[in-house]
Amino acid sequence: MKENDISFILNHLGEERSNYFNSVAPPVIQSSNFCFETVDEMRAGLKKEFEAPFYTRGFNPTVGILRKKIAALENSEDALVFGSGSAAIAAGVISTVAKGDHVICVNKPYSWTTKLLNNILSKFGVETTMVNGEKLSNFEEAIKENTRLIFLESPNSWTFELQDIEAVCNLAKKKNITTIIDNSYSSPLFQQPISMGADMVVHSATKYLSGHSDVVAGVLCGTRERINKIFASELMTFGGILSPHDAWLMLKGMRTLQLRMERSASSGKKIVEFLQNHPKVEKVYYPFSKENLQYELARKQMCDCGGMFSVLLKTEKMEQVELFCNNAKRFLLACSWGGYESLIFPACTLYNSQNYDGSSNYLPWNLVRIYIGLEDPEVLIEDLEKAMALV
Ligand SMILES: *Cc1c(COP(=O)(O)O)cnc(C)c1O
């Protein structure tokens, strides 16, 4: 995608300013329903619920602007917006499977994606095989007669393993299997899975797309035909929509998407370099790390790399990991990522946690996930240096 295209999408696409007093910022159309002059017009309106105002669960003009921008950014024909990334993932996945079908999912996807497949869809007769996605042959071997969906997440958000998106999508196409990829880590700016053959792309828009840690949202992109079908079924039935006000916040956040991505990526690189050379660091998990065995693949399919990575600390004691995290004062101890603020999420919080059923404990206790926000990278390095001295 050309730079100009991105700035046009972020600044102008989908905005019909003459419809609302030529206001530069779009209005929040905070209305649940829309009225008509005549029965005839109402009847016509009902037929266009997918793309014109009738009832806000279906279409809302503020949300509609967002749909156009998201679809254009992902190079897809259309997009739907949901009240969370998990809602978008569930709608996409459920639209592709029925009782008796089989799903192949890459190992270690987002934790609630695992739960959707293993705890919920299994109740409805859909079986899932998890595979190590680093080798194409693992997908080939897992394919069965009844495989309908391959779910990818490249890279994932703790240890950042990749899949060869183009190769897996080609394989799926040959076997008539649908592909969905969670592209949250890269945002639409750093990786374009539709152009590599993916059928659908999902994002937790809570992360980079919104970018200000004030909205929980999700998006789903695909062909108009597919998106239309999901609209008329999963979206309208489950109703997991985004409110007009949250859509407005997301539009506001997206004005600076390109700036934020560039900053997070460039600061991330500086801080990864500092940590890779630090004696207390055993290993840095980061797609663009030269030590990453999938470095070539990362370079091939990602045009840049976001500012999130994990470090394995060289220590024998969990208390020392805690000491490091408690003393990195410029980093908030919090989940999520993709906002303006730098964050730390230590894997040791997952140990003995009521919220996790043990399946998440594939992560070593001395692994710490770090997200680099928009602060001065030199200040962040200084802060990490001080905290690291305590390990
Ligand atoms: C956060 C996240 C999700 C879930 O999105 P929500 O907006 O929190 O529902 C899905 N995938 C990835 C990679 C995530 O980081």
pLDDT, tens digit (0-9, with 9 covering 90-100), for 250-276: 999 999 999 999 999 999 999 999 999
pLDDT tens digits along 71-101: 999 999 999 999 999 999 999 999 999 999 9
C-alpha span between 117 and 111 (Å, rounded): 10
Give the pLDDT confidence score for residue 3 in this predicted structure. Answer: 46
Residue 373: give its domain's CATH number: 3.90.1150.10
Beta bridge partners of 103: 128, 149
> For strand 178-182 and strand 218-222, is the pairing parallel, antiparallel, or unpaired?
unpaired
In a 10 Å sphere around its CB, with 0-12 CB exposed, 13-18 middle and 19+ buried, how is residue 367 labelled? buried
Ligand 1 mutation pick, 70, 106, 112, 335, max ligand atoms within 8 A of CB: 112
Residue at a domain's end among 229, 254, 279:
254
pLDDT at 199: 98
Contact 183 CB / ligand 1 (< 6 Å): no
Q: Are residues 192 and 242 in the same domain?
A: yes
pLDDT-based confidence at 56, cuts 50/70/90?
Answer: very high
pLDDT of res. 353? 56
- Percentage of the residues of the chain whose pLDDT score is greater than 70: 96
Going by pLDDT thresholds of 50, 70 and 90, the confidence category of residue 362 is: confident
Per-residue pLDDT tens over the stretch 153-211 = 999 999 999 999 999 999 999 999 999 999 999 999 999 999 999 999 999 999 999 99
User: Quick one: 285 and 247 in the same domain?
Assistant: no
206 lines ligand 1 (CB under 6 A): yes
Q: Is the CB of 86 under 6 A from ligand 1?
A: yes
Q: Is the distance from the beta carbon of residue 178 to the nearest atom of ligand 1 less than 6 Å?
A: no
E strands present in the chain: 78-82, 102-106, 127-131, 147-153, 178-182, 200-204, 218-222, 281-285, 308-313, 332-333, 343-346, 367-371
Do 157 and 26 share a structural domain?
yes
Best residue for ligand 1 mutational test, from 110, 209, 212, 241 (most atoms within 8 Å of Cβ): 110
My answer on whether 94 and 216 are in the same domain is yes
Confidence of residue 286 (pLDDT cuts 50, 70, 90): very high
Distance 204 CA to ligand 1 centre (A): 4
Q: Whose CA is nearest to atom 8 of ligand 1?
A: 85
Are 233 and 157 found together in one domain? yes
* pLDDT at position 4 over 90: no
* pLDDT greater than 80 at residue 359: no
pLDDT reading at 39 higher than 50: yes
Specify whether 313 is located in the same domain as 244. Answer: no
Q: Is the CB of 292 under 6 A from ligand 1?
A: no
pLDDT over 90 at 1, yes or no: no
pLDDT in tens, 200-230: 999 999 999 999 999 999 999 999 999 999 9
Q: Looking at the structure, tell me whether residues 210 and 286 fall in a common domain.
A: no
Residues 324 and 247 in one domain: no
Cβ atoms of 214 and 249 closer than 8 Å: yes
Q: Nearest 5°: phi and psi at 165?
A: -60, -45
> Are 191 and 263 in a shared domain?
no
Check pLDDT > 80 for residue 342: yes
Kindly report the protein residue whose alpha carbon is nearest to atom 2 of ligand 1: 204
Please tell me the distance from the alpha carbon of residue 197 to that of residue 296, in angstroms, as a whole number: 19
Residue 351 pLDDT level (bands cut at 50, 70, 90): confident
Quote the tokens at residue 17: 């300013």
Q: What does the pLDDT average to over 6-20?
A: 96
Q: Are residues 208 and 296 in the same domain?
A: no
Q: Ligand 1 pocket, 182 CB below 6 A? A: yes
Q: Are residues 153 and 282 in the same domain?
A: no
DSSP letter string, 329-380: TTSEE-S--SSSS-EEEEGGGGTT-TT--STTTTS-TTEEEEE--SS-HHHH
Count of domains for the chain:
2
Which of these three, 254, 275, 310, is where a domain ends? 254
DSSP conformational letter for 33: B
Shared domain for 13 and 141, answered yes or no, is yes
Task: State the residue range of the domain holding 311.
Answer: 257-388
Please identify, by atom number, the ligand 1 atom nearest to the C-alpha of residue 336: 1
- How far apart are alpha carbons 216 and 252 in whole angstroms? 14
- The rounded distance, in Å, linking the Cα atoms of 49 and 175 is 34
Nearest-atom index, ligand 1, CA of 88: 9
Indicate the average pLDDT of the chain: 96
Q: Residue 54: what pLDDT?
A: 98
Higher-confidence residue of 220 and 360: namely: 220
Comparing C-alpha atoms, which of 64, 91, 88, 89 is closest to residue 78?
64
Spell out a b/e string for 139-171, using b for 16 or more CB atoms within 10 Å of the CB, else e: beebbeeebbbbbbbbbbbbbbbbbbbbebbeb
Q: In CATH, what number is assigned to the domain containing residue 79?
A: 3.40.640.10
Residue 356 is predicted with a pLDDT of: 45
Select from 254, 283, 310 the last residue of a domain.
254
User: Does residue 147's CB lie within 6 angstroms of at least one atom of ligand 1?
Assistant: no
